[in-house]
Structure 1
Amino acid sequence: MEQVLRFEAHAFGRPYHAARVRIPARARDTELHTHADFHEFMGVVSGGGEHLLTTGVEELRAGDVVLVRPSDRHAVRGSADGLEFVNVAFPSSLWQGFLDLTRTAGWSSRGPVGFHQPAAVPVFERALDRFQTNPSTYDLLRFWTDLLELLTPGEPGAPGVPDWLAKACTAMRAEENLRGGVPRLLQLAGVSAAHLSRSLRAAYGVTPTAFVADLRLEHAASLLAATNTSIAGIASRCGFSSQSYFTRCFSTAHALTPSEFRHRSQRAFVP
Protein backbone atom coordinates (compact mmCIF):
# COMPACT_ATOMS: atom_id res chain seq x y z
CA MET A 1 0.00 0.00 0.00
CA GLU A 2 1.34 3.42 -0.92
CA GLN A 3 2.38 5.54 2.06
CA VAL A 4 2.01 9.28 2.55
CA LEU A 5 4.90 10.62 4.63
CA ARG A 6 4.55 13.67 6.87
CA PHE A 7 7.47 15.84 7.96
CA GLU A 8 6.57 16.50 11.57
CA ALA A 9 6.04 12.81 12.32
CA HIS A 10 9.78 12.48 12.96
CA ALA A 11 11.26 16.00 12.75
CA PHE A 12 9.94 16.86 16.25
CA GLY A 13 10.20 20.59 15.68
CA ARG A 14 13.62 20.52 14.02
CA PRO A 15 13.99 22.51 10.77
CA TYR A 16 15.06 19.50 8.72
CA HIS A 17 15.55 15.75 8.97
CA ALA A 18 18.66 13.91 7.74
CA ALA A 19 19.46 10.21 7.63
CA ARG A 20 21.94 7.81 6.07
CA VAL A 21 20.09 5.08 4.19
CA ARG A 22 21.80 1.81 3.22
CA ILE A 23 20.03 -0.65 0.94
CA PRO A 24 21.94 -3.96 0.84
CA ALA A 25 22.40 -6.01 -2.29
CA ARG A 26 19.35 -8.07 -3.19
CA ALA A 27 17.22 -6.19 -0.66
CA ARG A 28 13.58 -5.46 -1.42
CA ASP A 29 12.63 -2.09 -2.89
CA THR A 30 11.71 0.63 -0.42
CA GLU A 31 7.96 1.18 -0.18
CA LEU A 32 6.29 3.37 -2.77
CA HIS A 33 5.39 6.64 -1.09
CA THR A 34 4.58 10.32 -1.51
CA HIS A 35 5.22 13.34 0.72
CA ALA A 36 2.46 15.24 2.45
CA ASP A 37 4.25 18.50 3.12
CA PHE A 38 7.97 18.29 2.45
CA HIS A 39 10.67 18.16 -0.21
CA GLU A 40 13.78 16.01 0.05
CA PHE A 41 17.22 15.90 -1.52
CA MET A 42 18.86 12.50 -1.98
CA GLY A 43 22.64 12.43 -2.33
CA VAL A 44 24.03 9.06 -3.47
CA VAL A 45 27.23 8.32 -1.53
CA SER A 46 28.21 4.90 -2.90
CA GLY A 47 26.97 1.93 -4.86
CA GLY A 48 24.13 2.24 -7.33
CA GLY A 49 20.50 1.43 -7.92
CA GLU A 50 17.30 2.69 -9.44
CA HIS A 51 14.82 5.44 -8.63
CA LEU A 52 11.36 4.01 -9.26
CA LEU A 53 8.88 6.66 -10.43
CA THR A 54 5.43 6.61 -11.95
CA THR A 55 7.02 8.16 -15.05
CA GLY A 56 9.66 5.41 -15.35
CA VAL A 57 12.89 4.15 -13.81
CA GLU A 58 16.01 6.31 -13.47
CA GLU A 59 19.49 4.99 -12.73
CA LEU A 60 21.19 6.03 -9.50
CA ARG A 61 24.99 6.10 -9.14
CA ALA A 62 27.49 7.56 -6.70
CA GLY A 63 27.51 11.34 -6.97
CA ASP A 64 23.89 11.68 -8.10
CA VAL A 65 21.64 14.28 -6.46
CA VAL A 66 17.85 14.06 -6.73
CA LEU A 67 15.23 16.55 -5.55
CA VAL A 68 11.86 14.95 -4.80
CA ARG A 69 8.72 17.07 -4.37
CA PRO A 70 5.42 16.43 -2.56
CA SER A 71 3.08 14.14 -4.53
CA ASP A 72 5.98 12.58 -6.49
CA ARG A 73 5.33 8.85 -6.08
CA HIS A 74 8.65 7.08 -5.76
CA ALA A 75 10.66 4.21 -4.30
CA VAL A 76 14.32 3.15 -4.38
CA ARG A 77 16.00 -0.10 -5.41
CA GLY A 78 19.62 -1.07 -4.76
CA SER A 79 21.90 -2.69 -7.34
CA ALA A 80 23.89 -5.91 -6.90
CA ASP A 81 26.50 -3.83 -5.01
CA GLY A 82 23.95 -2.17 -2.77
CA LEU A 83 23.15 1.52 -2.46
CA GLU A 84 23.98 4.18 0.14
CA PHE A 85 22.59 7.69 0.15
CA VAL A 86 22.02 10.59 2.53
CA ASN A 87 18.47 11.88 2.63
CA VAL A 88 17.71 15.48 3.71
CA ALA A 89 14.02 16.35 4.13
CA PHE A 90 12.59 19.81 4.86
CA PRO A 91 9.20 21.58 4.86
CA SER A 92 7.99 22.63 1.43
CA SER A 93 6.91 26.02 2.77
CA LEU A 94 10.46 26.84 3.91
CA TRP A 95 11.94 25.70 0.60
CA GLN A 96 9.59 27.80 -1.53
CA GLY A 97 10.21 30.78 0.72
CA PHE A 98 13.96 30.32 0.23
CA LEU A 99 13.53 30.17 -3.56
CA ASP A 100 11.40 33.30 -3.55
CA LEU A 101 13.75 35.18 -1.24
CA THR A 102 16.84 34.30 -3.26
CA ARG A 103 15.04 34.73 -6.61
CA THR A 104 16.22 31.30 -7.68
CA ALA A 105 14.66 30.01 -10.90
CA GLY A 106 14.35 26.50 -12.25
CA TRP A 107 13.33 24.53 -9.13
CA SER A 108 9.55 24.86 -9.16
CA SER A 109 8.51 22.71 -12.12
CA ARG A 110 6.80 19.43 -11.31
CA GLY A 111 8.47 16.04 -11.05
CA PRO A 112 11.78 14.91 -9.53
CA VAL A 113 14.93 16.69 -10.75
CA GLY A 114 18.30 14.93 -10.91
CA PHE A 115 21.94 15.91 -11.36
CA HIS A 116 25.28 14.14 -11.34
CA GLN A 117 27.60 16.15 -9.12
CA PRO A 118 30.09 14.13 -6.99
CA ALA A 119 31.28 17.33 -5.29
CA ALA A 120 27.87 17.53 -3.60
CA VAL A 121 28.45 14.43 -1.44
CA PRO A 122 30.40 16.35 1.27
CA VAL A 123 27.53 18.87 1.44
CA PHE A 124 25.16 16.05 2.37
CA GLU A 125 27.63 14.64 4.89
CA ARG A 126 27.92 18.03 6.61
CA ALA A 127 24.13 18.37 6.77
CA LEU A 128 23.94 14.92 8.35
CA ASP A 129 26.64 15.79 10.91
CA ARG A 130 24.85 19.02 11.87
CA PHE A 131 21.57 17.16 12.22
CA GLN A 132 23.07 15.03 14.98
CA THR A 133 23.68 18.09 17.19
CA ASN A 134 20.39 20.01 17.48
CA PRO A 135 20.37 21.71 14.03
CA SER A 136 19.13 25.24 13.45
CA THR A 137 17.37 26.84 10.50
CA TYR A 138 20.72 28.40 9.66
CA ASP A 139 22.14 24.90 9.16
CA LEU A 140 19.37 24.19 6.67
CA LEU A 141 20.06 27.44 4.85
CA ARG A 142 23.77 26.55 4.66
CA PHE A 143 22.88 23.16 3.16
CA TRP A 144 20.69 24.75 0.49
CA THR A 145 23.20 27.48 -0.30
CA ASP A 146 26.17 25.12 -0.53
CA LEU A 147 24.20 22.67 -2.67
CA LEU A 148 22.73 25.22 -5.07
CA GLU A 149 26.18 26.64 -5.73
CA LEU A 150 27.04 23.24 -7.25
CA LEU A 151 23.77 22.61 -9.09
CA THR A 152 22.38 24.69 -11.96
CA PRO A 153 18.83 23.68 -12.85
CA GLY A 154 17.05 24.75 -16.00
CA GLU A 155 18.44 26.25 -19.18
CA PRO A 156 21.75 28.12 -19.12
CA GLY A 157 21.11 31.79 -18.49
CA ALA A 158 17.63 31.20 -17.04
CA PRO A 159 16.30 34.54 -15.77
CA GLY A 160 16.11 35.25 -12.07
CA VAL A 161 12.88 36.04 -10.29
CA PRO A 162 12.04 39.77 -10.27
CA ASP A 163 11.57 41.33 -6.84
CA TRP A 164 7.90 42.11 -7.49
CA LEU A 165 7.21 38.50 -8.48
CA ALA A 166 9.11 37.01 -5.53
CA LYS A 167 7.18 39.22 -3.09
CA ALA A 168 3.84 38.42 -4.71
CA CYS A 169 4.53 34.67 -4.71
CA THR A 170 5.57 34.74 -1.07
CA ALA A 171 2.49 36.76 -0.07
CA MET A 172 0.20 34.31 -1.89
CA ARG A 173 1.04 31.64 0.71
CA ALA A 174 -1.15 33.46 3.24
CA GLU A 175 -4.62 31.91 3.48
CA GLU A 176 -6.43 35.19 2.91
CA ASN A 177 -4.56 35.60 -0.37
CA LEU A 178 -5.00 31.97 -1.42
CA ARG A 179 -8.74 32.45 -1.12
CA GLY A 180 -8.48 35.37 -3.56
CA GLY A 181 -6.93 33.19 -6.25
CA VAL A 182 -5.38 34.55 -9.45
CA PRO A 183 -7.15 37.94 -9.16
CA ARG A 184 -5.45 38.44 -5.78
CA LEU A 185 -2.09 37.38 -7.24
CA LEU A 186 -2.55 40.03 -9.93
CA GLN A 187 -3.28 42.66 -7.28
CA LEU A 188 -0.18 41.72 -5.31
CA ALA A 189 2.00 41.70 -8.43
CA GLY A 190 0.73 45.05 -9.71
CA VAL A 191 1.28 44.13 -13.37
CA SER A 192 -0.90 43.12 -16.29
CA ALA A 193 -2.26 39.59 -16.58
CA ALA A 194 -0.13 38.97 -19.66
CA HIS A 195 3.06 40.18 -17.97
CA LEU A 196 2.36 38.07 -14.88
CA SER A 197 1.79 35.00 -17.03
CA ARG A 198 5.01 35.51 -19.00
CA SER A 199 7.05 36.12 -15.85
CA LEU A 200 5.69 33.10 -13.98
CA ARG A 201 6.37 30.84 -16.94
CA ALA A 202 9.93 32.15 -17.23
CA ALA A 203 10.69 31.89 -13.51
CA TYR A 204 8.76 28.80 -12.43
CA GLY A 205 7.54 27.10 -15.60
CA VAL A 206 3.85 27.34 -14.66
CA THR A 207 0.81 29.48 -15.44
CA PRO A 208 -0.75 31.72 -12.76
CA THR A 209 -3.70 29.32 -12.52
CA ALA A 210 -1.42 26.30 -12.00
CA PHE A 211 0.74 28.22 -9.50
CA VAL A 212 -2.25 29.13 -7.35
CA ALA A 213 -3.70 25.63 -7.63
CA ASP A 214 -0.41 24.09 -6.50
CA LEU A 215 -0.20 26.44 -3.51
CA ARG A 216 -3.78 25.65 -2.52
CA LEU A 217 -3.23 21.90 -2.74
CA GLU A 218 0.08 22.13 -0.86
CA HIS A 219 -1.56 24.08 1.96
CA ALA A 220 -4.52 21.72 1.99
CA ALA A 221 -2.19 18.73 2.32
CA SER A 222 -0.47 20.37 5.29
CA LEU A 223 -3.80 21.08 6.98
CA LEU A 224 -5.03 17.53 6.38
CA ALA A 225 -1.85 16.08 7.86
CA ALA A 226 -1.44 18.42 10.82
CA THR A 227 -4.96 19.50 11.92
CA ASN A 228 -8.40 18.10 12.65
CA THR A 229 -10.14 20.78 10.58
CA SER A 230 -13.03 19.35 8.59
CA ILE A 231 -12.52 18.73 4.88
CA ALA A 232 -15.18 21.32 4.09
CA GLY A 233 -13.36 23.80 6.31
CA ILE A 234 -10.03 23.09 4.61
CA ALA A 235 -11.60 23.51 1.18
CA SER A 236 -12.93 26.92 2.24
CA ARG A 237 -9.68 28.02 3.92
CA CYS A 238 -7.68 27.16 0.78
CA GLY A 239 -9.99 28.96 -1.63
CA PHE A 240 -11.86 26.09 -3.30
CA SER A 241 -15.40 26.90 -4.38
CA SER A 242 -16.87 23.72 -2.88
CA GLN A 243 -15.88 20.58 -1.00
CA SER A 244 -16.70 18.42 -4.03
CA TYR A 245 -14.47 20.50 -6.31
CA PHE A 246 -11.66 20.38 -3.75
CA THR A 247 -12.00 16.59 -3.49
CA ARG A 248 -11.78 16.21 -7.27
CA CYS A 249 -8.69 18.43 -7.51
CA PHE A 250 -6.95 16.81 -4.54
CA SER A 251 -7.72 13.27 -5.71
CA THR A 252 -6.32 14.04 -9.16
CA ALA A 253 -3.10 15.46 -7.69
CA HIS A 254 -2.50 12.79 -5.03
CA ALA A 255 -4.40 9.73 -6.29
CA LEU A 256 -6.04 9.75 -2.85
CA THR A 257 -9.16 11.42 -1.53
CA PRO A 258 -8.61 14.03 1.20
CA SER A 259 -9.97 11.55 3.78
CA GLU A 260 -7.63 8.79 2.61
CA PHE A 261 -4.68 11.20 2.59
CA ARG A 262 -5.43 12.31 6.15
CA HIS A 263 -5.76 8.73 7.39
CA ARG A 264 -2.46 7.63 5.86
CA SER A 265 -0.54 10.75 6.86
CA GLN A 266 -1.37 10.16 10.52
CA ARG A 267 0.67 6.94 10.34
CA ALA A 268 3.46 8.41 8.21
CA PHE A 269 7.16 8.65 8.89
CA VAL A 270 10.25 10.18 7.32
CA PRO A 271 12.75 7.40 6.43
Structure 2
Amino acid sequence: MPDLHFTKGHGTGNDFVFFADPDGLIDLTPAQIAAIADRHFGVGGDGVIRAVRSQNLPAGAAALAEDDAAEWFMDYHNADGSVSEMCGNGIRVFAKFLIQNGLATLGQGETLPIGTRSGVRDLQRNTSGFQVDLGRWSLEGGEPLVRAKNLSVARPGLGINIGNPHVVVALSSDEELESADLTFIPVLDPEATEGANVEFVVPMDPLVKDGVGRIRMRVHERGSGETLSCGTGAAAAALATRHWAGSGAPNQWRVEVPGGTLGVRMWAAEDGEHVSLSGPAELVFEGDLTY
Protein backbone atom coordinates (compact mmCIF):
# COMPACT_ATOMS: atom_id res chain seq x y z
CA MET A 1 0.00 0.00 0.00
CA PRO A 2 1.39 3.45 -0.89
CA ASP A 3 2.06 6.22 1.62
CA LEU A 4 0.45 9.64 1.46
CA HIS A 5 2.15 12.72 2.89
CA PHE A 6 -0.45 15.04 4.35
CA THR A 7 -0.80 18.33 6.22
CA LYS A 8 -3.52 19.11 8.76
CA GLY A 9 -4.87 22.67 8.79
CA HIS A 10 -7.89 24.68 9.88
CA GLY A 11 -9.67 28.00 9.48
CA THR A 12 -11.47 29.00 12.71
CA GLY A 13 -11.66 25.35 13.73
CA ASN A 14 -13.03 24.13 10.39
CA ASP A 15 -10.32 21.49 9.82
CA PHE A 16 -9.04 19.71 6.75
CA VAL A 17 -6.49 17.15 5.59
CA PHE A 18 -4.43 18.49 2.67
CA PHE A 19 -2.17 16.64 0.27
CA ALA A 20 -0.37 17.62 -2.92
CA ASP A 21 -0.94 15.64 -6.10
CA PRO A 22 0.26 18.04 -8.83
CA ASP A 23 0.00 15.52 -11.67
CA GLY A 24 -3.39 14.13 -10.65
CA LEU A 25 -2.11 10.59 -10.12
CA ILE A 26 -3.74 9.81 -6.75
CA ASP A 27 -7.36 8.71 -7.12
CA LEU A 28 -8.79 8.17 -3.65
CA THR A 29 -12.18 6.51 -3.37
CA PRO A 30 -14.97 8.07 -1.27
CA ALA A 31 -14.42 5.29 1.28
CA GLN A 32 -10.69 6.10 1.53
CA ILE A 33 -11.45 9.81 1.93
CA ALA A 34 -13.99 9.07 4.66
CA ALA A 35 -11.44 6.84 6.42
CA ILE A 36 -8.83 9.64 6.37
CA ALA A 37 -11.38 12.15 7.75
CA ASP A 38 -12.55 9.79 10.50
CA ARG A 39 -11.75 11.36 13.88
CA HIS A 40 -11.33 8.05 15.68
CA PHE A 41 -9.55 5.83 13.17
CA GLY A 42 -8.05 8.33 10.72
CA VAL A 43 -6.36 11.72 10.74
CA GLY A 44 -9.67 13.47 11.35
CA GLY A 45 -11.17 16.47 9.61
CA ASP A 46 -14.28 18.14 8.23
CA GLY A 47 -12.97 17.47 4.74
CA VAL A 48 -10.07 16.28 2.59
CA ILE A 49 -8.50 18.64 0.04
CA ARG A 50 -6.21 17.63 -2.82
CA ALA A 51 -3.94 20.19 -4.50
CA VAL A 52 -3.80 19.27 -8.19
CA ARG A 53 -2.80 21.34 -11.20
CA SER A 54 -5.92 22.36 -13.08
CA GLN A 55 -4.54 21.00 -16.35
CA ASN A 56 -4.39 17.51 -14.84
CA LEU A 57 -7.99 17.28 -13.68
CA PRO A 58 -11.09 17.14 -15.92
CA ALA A 59 -12.90 19.62 -13.64
CA GLY A 60 -9.94 21.97 -14.01
CA ALA A 61 -10.63 22.63 -17.71
CA ALA A 62 -13.46 25.01 -16.87
CA ALA A 63 -11.25 26.84 -14.37
CA LEU A 64 -8.52 27.37 -16.96
CA ALA A 65 -11.10 28.51 -19.51
CA GLU A 66 -12.28 31.10 -16.98
CA ASP A 67 -8.78 32.22 -15.96
CA ASP A 68 -5.65 30.67 -17.47
CA ALA A 69 -3.69 31.82 -14.39
CA ALA A 70 -5.63 29.37 -12.18
CA GLU A 71 -2.77 26.87 -12.08
CA TRP A 72 -4.05 25.05 -8.97
CA PHE A 73 -7.40 23.38 -8.39
CA MET A 74 -8.87 22.75 -4.94
CA ASP A 75 -10.30 19.23 -5.19
CA TYR A 76 -12.53 19.22 -2.12
CA HIS A 77 -14.42 16.33 -0.52
CA ASN A 78 -16.61 16.33 2.57
CA ALA A 79 -15.83 14.11 5.54
CA ASP A 80 -18.15 11.39 4.21
CA GLY A 81 -16.26 11.27 0.91
CA SER A 82 -18.84 13.17 -1.12
CA VAL A 83 -17.74 15.89 -3.52
CA SER A 84 -18.45 19.53 -2.67
CA GLU A 85 -18.34 22.58 -4.90
CA MET A 86 -16.59 25.06 -2.61
CA CYS A 87 -15.35 25.70 0.90
CA GLY A 88 -14.68 29.24 2.11
CA ASN A 89 -12.51 28.27 5.07
CA GLY A 90 -10.84 25.46 3.15
CA ILE A 91 -9.74 27.65 0.25
CA ARG A 92 -8.00 30.11 2.58
CA VAL A 93 -6.05 27.31 4.26
CA PHE A 94 -5.45 25.79 0.82
CA ALA A 95 -3.71 29.03 -0.21
CA LYS A 96 -1.47 28.84 2.85
CA PHE A 97 -0.72 25.18 2.11
CA LEU A 98 0.36 26.03 -1.46
CA ILE A 99 2.54 28.92 -0.32
CA GLN A 100 4.19 27.06 2.56
CA ASN A 101 5.04 24.14 0.27
CA GLY A 102 6.54 26.38 -2.43
CA LEU A 103 3.78 25.60 -4.92
CA ALA A 104 2.58 29.20 -5.22
CA THR A 105 3.55 32.71 -4.15
CA LEU A 106 1.33 35.53 -2.97
CA GLY A 107 2.84 38.90 -2.11
CA GLN A 108 1.04 41.83 -0.51
CA GLY A 109 -1.38 43.31 -3.03
CA GLU A 110 -1.14 40.30 -5.33
CA THR A 111 -3.97 37.93 -6.21
CA LEU A 112 -3.86 34.13 -6.31
CA PRO A 113 -6.58 32.55 -8.51
CA ILE A 114 -7.63 29.03 -7.51
CA GLY A 115 -9.91 26.72 -9.45
CA THR A 116 -12.92 25.14 -7.75
CA ARG A 117 -16.05 23.35 -8.92
CA SER A 118 -17.85 26.67 -8.43
CA GLY A 119 -15.42 28.53 -10.65
CA VAL A 120 -12.21 30.44 -10.05
CA ARG A 121 -11.86 32.19 -6.71
CA ASP A 122 -9.33 34.98 -6.11
CA LEU A 123 -7.41 35.25 -2.84
CA GLN A 124 -5.37 38.01 -1.27
CA ARG A 125 -3.52 38.38 2.00
CA ASN A 126 -4.98 40.65 4.68
CA THR A 127 -4.41 41.44 8.35
CA SER A 128 -6.49 38.49 9.57
CA GLY A 129 -4.90 35.95 7.21
CA PHE A 130 -6.46 35.64 3.77
CA GLN A 131 -9.46 37.12 1.98
CA VAL A 132 -11.30 35.25 -0.77
CA ASP A 133 -13.72 36.71 -3.28
CA LEU A 134 -16.57 34.18 -3.21
CA GLY A 135 -18.07 35.70 -6.34
CA ARG A 136 -21.69 36.42 -7.06
CA TRP A 137 -24.37 35.09 -4.77
CA SER A 138 -28.08 34.50 -5.32
CA LEU A 139 -31.30 34.03 -3.39
CA GLU A 140 -32.64 30.54 -4.01
CA GLY A 141 -36.26 31.56 -3.50
CA GLY A 142 -38.90 30.17 -1.19
CA GLU A 143 -38.76 29.76 2.58
CA PRO A 144 -38.30 26.07 3.37
CA LEU A 145 -39.35 25.03 6.86
CA VAL A 146 -36.45 23.81 8.98
CA ARG A 147 -36.78 21.43 11.89
CA ALA A 148 -33.88 20.84 14.26
CA LYS A 149 -33.69 18.69 17.37
CA ASN A 150 -34.45 20.64 20.58
CA LEU A 151 -36.07 23.53 18.72
CA SER A 152 -39.75 23.40 19.63
CA VAL A 153 -41.25 24.45 16.29
CA ALA A 154 -40.16 24.49 12.65
CA ARG A 155 -38.68 27.78 11.48
CA PRO A 156 -38.67 29.35 8.02
CA GLY A 157 -35.28 29.39 6.32
CA LEU A 158 -33.87 31.53 3.54
CA GLY A 159 -32.14 29.76 0.65
CA ILE A 160 -28.89 31.37 -0.50
CA ASN A 161 -26.37 30.05 -3.01
CA ILE A 162 -22.70 31.06 -2.85
CA GLY A 163 -21.43 28.45 -5.27
CA ASN A 164 -22.84 25.88 -2.83
CA PRO A 165 -26.34 25.74 -1.29
CA HIS A 166 -27.30 27.15 2.11
CA VAL A 167 -30.45 27.60 4.15
CA VAL A 168 -30.23 30.26 6.88
CA VAL A 169 -32.56 30.21 9.89
CA ALA A 170 -33.06 33.13 12.31
CA LEU A 171 -33.42 32.26 15.99
CA SER A 172 -34.65 34.51 18.77
CA SER A 173 -31.93 34.16 21.41
CA ASP A 174 -28.51 32.84 22.32
CA GLU A 175 -30.30 30.22 24.44
CA GLU A 176 -32.12 28.87 21.41
CA LEU A 177 -28.89 28.84 19.44
CA GLU A 178 -27.10 26.85 22.13
CA SER A 179 -29.98 24.42 22.65
CA ALA A 180 -30.15 23.17 19.04
CA ASP A 181 -28.70 19.67 18.75
CA LEU A 182 -26.88 19.72 15.44
CA THR A 183 -25.50 16.21 15.80
CA PHE A 184 -28.78 15.39 14.04
CA ILE A 185 -29.31 16.50 10.45
CA PRO A 186 -31.83 19.37 10.25
CA VAL A 187 -34.92 18.43 8.24
CA LEU A 188 -35.90 20.71 5.35
CA ASP A 189 -39.44 20.89 3.95
CA PRO A 190 -39.34 20.82 0.99
CA GLU A 191 -36.15 18.78 0.92
CA ALA A 192 -33.18 20.31 -0.90
CA THR A 193 -32.44 18.24 -4.01
CA GLU A 194 -28.66 18.48 -3.65
CA GLY A 195 -28.69 18.89 0.12
CA ALA A 196 -27.71 22.11 1.86
CA ASN A 197 -25.63 23.55 4.65
CA VAL A 198 -27.99 24.87 7.33
CA GLU A 199 -27.00 27.92 9.39
CA PHE A 200 -28.72 29.03 12.61
CA VAL A 201 -28.22 32.70 13.38
CA VAL A 202 -28.92 35.20 16.17
CA PRO A 203 -28.13 38.94 16.06
CA MET A 204 -25.73 40.39 18.59
CA ASP A 205 -26.75 43.38 20.70
CA PRO A 206 -26.50 45.88 19.15
CA LEU A 207 -26.82 44.39 15.67
CA VAL A 208 -24.67 47.14 14.17
CA LYS A 209 -21.67 48.67 15.92
CA ASP A 210 -19.33 51.20 14.30
CA GLY A 211 -20.97 50.49 10.95
CA VAL A 212 -20.34 46.72 11.10
CA GLY A 213 -23.12 44.15 11.42
CA ARG A 214 -22.63 41.46 14.08
CA ILE A 215 -24.17 37.99 14.32
CA ARG A 216 -23.54 34.61 15.96
CA MET A 217 -23.89 31.38 14.00
CA ARG A 218 -23.84 27.60 14.27
CA VAL A 219 -23.93 25.31 11.24
CA HIS A 220 -24.65 21.78 10.13
CA GLU A 221 -22.70 21.07 6.94
CA ARG A 222 -23.99 18.50 4.48
CA GLY A 223 -21.65 15.55 4.41
CA SER A 224 -19.73 16.63 7.52
CA GLY A 225 -22.20 17.33 10.35
CA GLU A 226 -21.84 20.21 12.79
CA THR A 227 -18.55 22.02 12.32
CA LEU A 228 -16.87 24.75 14.36
CA SER A 229 -17.08 27.08 11.39
CA CYS A 230 -18.27 27.31 7.79
CA GLY A 231 -16.86 30.08 5.62
CA THR A 232 -19.47 30.14 2.88
CA GLY A 233 -22.06 29.62 5.63
CA ALA A 234 -20.84 32.75 7.43
CA ALA A 235 -21.24 34.68 4.19
CA ALA A 236 -24.73 33.25 3.67
CA ALA A 237 -25.70 34.10 7.25
CA ALA A 238 -24.53 37.69 6.86
CA LEU A 239 -26.33 38.05 3.53
CA ALA A 240 -29.55 36.64 4.99
CA THR A 241 -29.40 38.93 8.02
CA ARG A 242 -28.82 41.95 5.81
CA HIS A 243 -31.78 40.84 3.68
CA TRP A 244 -34.03 40.60 6.74
CA ALA A 245 -32.76 43.90 8.17
CA GLY A 246 -33.74 45.80 5.02
CA SER A 247 -32.45 49.01 3.52
CA GLY A 248 -29.73 50.74 5.47
CA ALA A 249 -28.19 47.49 6.70
CA PRO A 250 -24.38 47.48 6.42
CA ASN A 251 -22.31 45.68 3.80
CA GLN A 252 -19.63 44.66 6.27
CA TRP A 253 -20.24 41.96 8.88
CA ARG A 254 -18.51 40.21 11.74
CA VAL A 255 -19.64 36.61 12.19
CA GLU A 256 -18.92 34.79 15.46
CA VAL A 257 -18.71 31.02 15.07
CA PRO A 258 -17.75 28.43 17.72
CA GLY A 259 -14.22 28.35 16.29
CA GLY A 260 -13.56 32.10 16.12
CA THR A 261 -14.48 35.14 14.05
CA LEU A 262 -14.88 35.66 10.31
CA GLY A 263 -15.30 38.84 8.29
CA VAL A 264 -17.81 39.19 5.44
CA ARG A 265 -18.07 42.07 2.98
CA MET A 266 -20.43 42.73 0.07
CA TRP A 267 -19.73 45.07 -2.83
CA ALA A 268 -21.00 45.87 -6.31
CA ALA A 269 -19.06 44.49 -9.30
CA GLU A 270 -19.68 44.67 -13.04
CA ASP A 271 -21.31 41.23 -13.09
CA GLY A 272 -23.42 41.76 -9.95
CA GLU A 273 -22.90 41.91 -6.21
CA HIS A 274 -19.97 39.92 -4.84
CA VAL A 275 -19.32 38.73 -1.30
CA SER A 276 -15.91 38.14 0.26
CA LEU A 277 -14.76 36.19 3.29
CA SER A 278 -11.72 36.90 5.44
CA GLY A 279 -10.22 35.08 8.38
CA PRO A 280 -7.23 33.13 9.69
CA ALA A 281 -5.62 30.08 8.11
CA GLU A 282 -3.46 27.71 10.16
CA LEU A 283 -1.37 24.65 9.34
CA VAL A 284 -0.89 22.60 12.48
CA PHE A 285 1.00 19.39 11.67
CA GLU A 286 2.01 16.99 8.91
CA GLY A 287 2.64 13.30 8.61
CA ASP A 288 2.36 10.18 6.47
CA LEU A 289 -0.38 7.59 6.24
CA THR A 290 -0.94 4.39 4.29
CA TYR A 291 -4.03 4.29 2.09
State TM-score, norm by structure 1. Answer: 0.30
Greater percentage in strand: 2
Greater percentage in helix: 1
State TM-score, norm by structure 2. Answer: 0.29
